Chain A
Amino acid sequence: MADGTSVPIGGLASAKSAGRKTAMQKFAQRRSTTGFLLCLPLILLVACFVVYPAFYAIYLSMLNKKMTAFVGLGNFQFLLKRHTFQLVIFQSCLFAITAVVLKALLGFTLAHLMHNIPGKNQKIWRGLLLVPWVIPLALSTLTWWWMFDPSYSAFNWVLNQFGFANVPWLGVGWIARFCTIAVNVWYGTPFFMIMYLAALKSVPEQLYEASAIDGANAVQKLFFVTLPMMRNIISITVLFSLITTFADFDIVRILTAGGPQDMTHVFATYAFQVGIQSGDIPLGAADSLFMFPILAFAAFFVLRGVTKRTKEIAA
């Protein structure tokens, strides 16, 4: 029996021998102990590669530039006063929020279109649309960079063919911002699509039938059946994507390296430039930790909503 109430087979003799077991043996036989031991490798991995680096980063962020003295929150205060860092905060939020919203909308639309494709064709399209997500990001971003290249842009070549002038894709602040966001959306949309598609497939068909009988049209079905049934998966997907998008490094680093004039820097690329390239590791650590409260705030509200809805469903 798997409910923890099973009795060992073996009768009285076994019961007597069990009575002679040492405390250590008893401890080892407890289900919780077994569970803990099985989880131990993962706990150690998380401790070594997540908890320790996180606390080490916090420690580093509170040191002076030479890493010889404790300065408390001095690095954070210093960063907040810098105009460039204010630009980084703005750009990081713009980049992450715009990209996540666009990915969610596009992913949702694509998932619906996909859901309505019958049979084998759906598998083919699903596979094709997943391609951006399965190509290593650094490689696909390089390809985008070639297309945006200042001198030999493939897009500009196309524009020229139709008589339009060149566009400095990565040379003008707002256009460069648009390009970095566009590449992130291109890369991340398939993830949303596949998650939403899975969620769509789990919505019971009876609900749609019942709403149809009640006279609901397509828009009403979307807002009163589909969306409520998908709310949890939408929340979790958005949260997950927000975390990864805020922490994005590859796209900005490869496409613009933060330029032009620092207008595309996000937390990670700025931390790299300040911490590694300019030799100010504590300031770089402080910069990268700015993501933490933003994401913790988002995670708290999203997960609270998910828990609340789960309880409602269970009730």
Chain B
Amino acid sequence: MTTPRTTKSKPGNVTRRRALKLAAASAALPLVHIRTGRAAGKVSIAFWDHWVPAGNAAMQKQVEAWGAKNQVEVQADFITSNGSKNILTIAAEAQAKTGHDVQAFPSWEVHNNADLLEPIDDVMKRLTDKFGQVNDVCSYLAKVKGHWLAVPTSSGTQYKGPCGRISVLKEKAGLDIVGMYPAKAGHTAASDAWTWDVHYKAAEACYKAGMPFAIGLGQTSDSVDTAGALFAAFGAELVDKDGNITVKSDKVRAVLEHGQKLVKVLPDDAVSFDDASNNRALISGKSALIWNPPSAWAVAKRDAPQVAADSWSFSAPSGPAGRFLPYLPFFWGVWSFSKNKGAAKDLIEALLQREPVQERCDAVSGYDVPPFTSMLDFKIWEEVEPPQGTVYNYPLRPFHNAKAHIAALPAPPEIAVQIYNRGTMPTMLAKLKSGQTIDQVIAWANDELEGFSR
């Protein structure tokens, strides 16, 4: 006969069993497990863990409501992009062919996992019929062989245009950014004069005044996106849409000639910038302009209110080939090995209706940009302050005469992802900063691109 083992412990004593329970509970904390009726099965979804904590709470509430209404048990996990943990999770699930039903795919991951994603044209058609088309970057990243493999979402989707100090740019460089891009609908003539040459002259003036533009030349996303916008504005493609290496072109040479001037007025340590360096430069009051979503402004609002009150987001400068605004969309896709594809698609569609998108956008002070143009009339971008309207021009608006862009577009995505993640464009600029000639930089890039095109 066996006697059940009991654990006796004095209150306050930490037993091994109690410690194990505590550890298990702690490990489960990041997982938001929402249980509802199970009549329609179970769906697990991995969301991007939002920088703004309120973003997760808003999402959780919506998912819970959808689960209760549809009698589906939903497990929502919020996975951070710190240390590329979200990409590691996607890679692990793709290898194991098991995991969540729905994943939040950062920009390039849809193509990376195209063979394992369920076509989602039906959902996309209903959404675009209702809310209008999405931009070309979304099609480029998520439409494979004519089929949508994931739906562009608002959660985590961001533009990464300039955010400048109003007073500093006016005083040191004579640039009236609020006049160029006021917080109201309508094109201004002044914005037409906002070119990369003007950008360079302003950078030079601010550099001399000890307030350099904090533009990174590292290999992380912020550096890549800014360099991508610069290259696109000059029409400089490293690889064309057919996969041909086109780095030895006059346009690439022209952008590098501009880059040769620009890098000289960037911070001395620009080559070692990561995605936090530019934020810190703005928040600490050491920089006149950065290229970033409003997260830097949001932190400044808390830590350096005087800097936040003097900051303004606006569109990218234009070049010979046009005006290109860095854009990084997130997508929601359903794995082909999902066990409840129907419910997964329903959940995605429900979360991308106007009302829930607006609710989430409000919760994160306008950080998340909806993929559908018809949703750009949310009031949040007008209301956010200080100063009022500071992020009005953060999302790309039709009167900006700009195009959403991701670095390395239009190269075939399997090549572009390597150009992007290896930071080829900012590295080219970094090499100029280190004193290499344009010919040397082009030769290096050509060698790299040959490797990417295997």
Q: Is B111 an interface residue (CB 8 A)?
A: yes
Q: Is B248 an interface residue (CB 8 A)?
A: no
Q: Are B219 and A257 in contact (CB under 8 A)?
A: yes
Q: Is B414 an interface residue (CB 8 A)?
A: yes
Partner-contacting stretch, out of B22-30, B153-161, B263-271, B331-339: B263-271
Task: List chain B residues, Cβ under 8 A from A65.
Answer: 414, 454
Q: If A278-B418, A279-B417 touch, does A170 touch B272 (CB 8 Å cutoff)? A: yes
Q: Is B430 an interface residue (CB 8 A)?
A: yes
Chain A residues bordering chain B, tally (CB within 8 A): 32
Q: If A277-B84, A278-B421, A279-B108 touch, does A261 touch B269 (CB 8 Å cutoff)? A: no
> CA of A168 to CA of B427 in the docked complex: distance in angstroms?
17
Q: Is A125 an interface residue (CB 8 A)?
A: no
Interface residue SS majority, chain A? loop
Task: List chain B residues, Cβ under 8 A from A258.
Answer: 219
Q: Are A273 and B268 in contact (CB under 8 A)?
A: no
For window 337-367 of chain B, which residues contact chain A by CB distance below 8 Å? none
Q: Are A261 and B421 in contact (CB under 8 A)?
A: no
Q: Are A150 and B451 in contact (CB under 8 A)?
A: no
Q: Are A171 and B87 in contact (CB under 8 A)?
A: no
Checking B270, B418, B434 against A261 with a beta-carbon cut-off of 8 angstroms, the contacting residue is: B434
Task: List chain A residues, Cβ under 8 A from B448.
Answer: 83-84
Task: List chain B residues, Cβ under 8 A from A84.
Answer: 448, 451
Of listed B280, B427, B454, residue having the most chain A CB within 10 A: B454
Q: Is B447 an interface residue (CB 8 A)?
A: yes
How many residue pairs bridge A and B at CB < 8 Å? 90
Q: Are A66 and B271 in contact (CB under 8 A)?
A: no
Q: Is B112 an interface residue (CB 8 A)?
A: yes
Q: Are B269 and A150 in contact (CB under 8 A)?
A: yes
Q: Is B274 an interface residue (CB 8 A)?
A: yes
Q: Are B418 and A280 in contact (CB under 8 A)?
A: yes
Q: Are A260 and B421 in contact (CB under 8 A)?
A: no
Task: List chain A residues, Cβ under 8 A from B280.
Answer: 151-152
For window 272-314 of chain A, which residues contact chain B by CB distance below 8 Å? 272-273, 276-281
Task: List chain B residues, Cβ under 8 A from A256.
Answer: 272
> CA of A150 to CA of B111 in the docked complex: distance in angstroms?
34
Task: List chain B residues, Cβ under 8 A from A272.
Answer: 84
> CA of A171 to CA of B268 in the docked complex: distance in angstroms?
8
In the complex, the 7 A-B pairs of residues with the closest C-beta atoms, listed nearest first:
A279-B112, A150-B269, A171-B272, A170-B272, A260-B271, A171-B269, A277-B421
Task: List chain A residues, Cβ under 8 A from B286.
Answer: 151
Q: Is B62 an interface residue (CB 8 A)?
A: no
Q: If A261-B427, A279-B417 touch, does A151 touch B269 (CB 8 Å cutoff)? A: yes
Interface residue SS majority, chain B? helix
For window 65-88 of chain A, which residues contact chain B by CB distance below 8 Å? 65-66, 78, 82-84
Task: List chain B residues, Cβ under 8 A from A280.
Answer: 418
Q: Is A160 an interface residue (CB 8 A)?
A: no
For window 196-220 of chain B, which residues contact chain A by CB distance below 8 Å? 218-220
16 A-B residue pairings within 8 Å (CB atoms): A65-B454, A84-B451, A150-B272, A151-B277, A151-B281, A170-B269, A171-B272, A172-B271, A256-B272, A259-B218, A259-B423, A261-B430, A272-B84, A273-B421, A273-B422, A278-B418
Task: List chain B residues, Cβ under 8 A from A166.
Answer: 268-269
> CA of A257 to CA of B220 in the docked complex: distance in angstroms?
9
Q: Are B111 and A279 in contact (CB under 8 A)?
A: yes
Checking B88, B115, B273, B422 against A150 with a beta-carbon cut-off of 8 angstroms, the contacting residue is: B273
Q: If A166-B268, A171-B272, A261-B271 touch, does A276 touch B88 (CB 8 Å cutoff)? A: yes
B321 nearest CB across to chain A (Å): 27
Q: Is B284 an interface residue (CB 8 A)?
A: yes
Q: Name the residue on B nearest A152 (C-beta).
A: B280
> CA of A176 to CA of B218 in the docked complex: distance in angstroms?
13
Task: List chain B residues, Cβ under 8 A from A169.
Answer: 272
Q: Name the residue on A nearest B269 (C-beta).
A: A150
> CA of A152 to CA of B273 in the docked complex: distance in angstroms?
12
Q: Is B31 an interface residue (CB 8 A)?
A: no
Q: Is A248 an interface residue (CB 8 A)?
A: no
For window 269-308 of chain B, which residues contact chain A by CB distance below 8 Å? 269-274, 277, 280-281, 284, 286
Q: Name the residue on B nearest A64 (C-beta).
A: B454
Contacts beyond the supplied A278-B421, A278-B422: 12 A-B pairs with Cβ under 8 Å: A150-B269, A150-B277, A151-B281, A168-B268, A172-B434, A257-B220, A259-B423, A261-B271, A276-B84, A276-B91, A277-B421, A279-B108
Q: Is B431 an interface residue (CB 8 A)?
A: yes
> CA of A168 to CA of B418 in the docked complex: distance in angstroms?
27
Task: List chain B residues, Cβ under 8 A from A83.
Answer: 444, 447-448
> CA of A278 to CA of B448 in the docked complex: distance in angstroms?
14
A210 nearest CB across to chain B (Å): 52
Task: List chain A residues, Cβ under 8 A from B273.
Answer: 150
A217 nearest CB across to chain B (Å): 49
> CA of A165 to CA of B189 in the docked complex: distance in angstroms?
44
> CA of A150 to CA of B423 in the docked complex: distance in angstroms?
19
Task: List chain A residues, Cβ under 8 A from B269.
Answer: 150-151, 166, 168, 170-171
A287 nearest CB across to chain B (Å): 12
Contact indicator per residue, chain A 222-266, by CB within 8 Å of chain B (1) or not (0): 000000000000000000000000000000000011111110000
Task: List chain B residues, Cβ under 8 A from A276.
Answer: 84, 87-88, 91
Q: Are B430 and A260 in contact (CB under 8 A)?
A: yes
> CA of A83 to CA of B454 in the docked complex: distance in angstroms?
15
> CA of A169 to CA of B268 in the docked complex: distance in angstroms?
11
Contact indicator per residue, chain A 163-202, by CB within 8 Å of chain B (1) or not (0): 0001011111000100000000000000000000000000
Task: List chain A residues, Cβ under 8 A from B112.
Answer: 279
Task: List chain A residues, Cβ under 8 A from B423.
Answer: 259
> CA of A118 to CA of B88 in the docked complex: distance in angstroms?
50
A276 nearest CB across to chain B (Å): 5
Task: List chain B residues, Cβ under 8 A from A168.
Answer: 268-269, 271-272
Q: Are B91 and A281 in contact (CB under 8 A)?
A: yes
Q: Name the residue on A nearest B112 (C-beta).
A: A279
Q: Are A277 and B267 in contact (CB under 8 A)?
A: no
Q: Are B219 and A259 in contact (CB under 8 A)?
A: yes
> CA of A31 to CA of B85 in the docked complex: distance in angstroms?
47
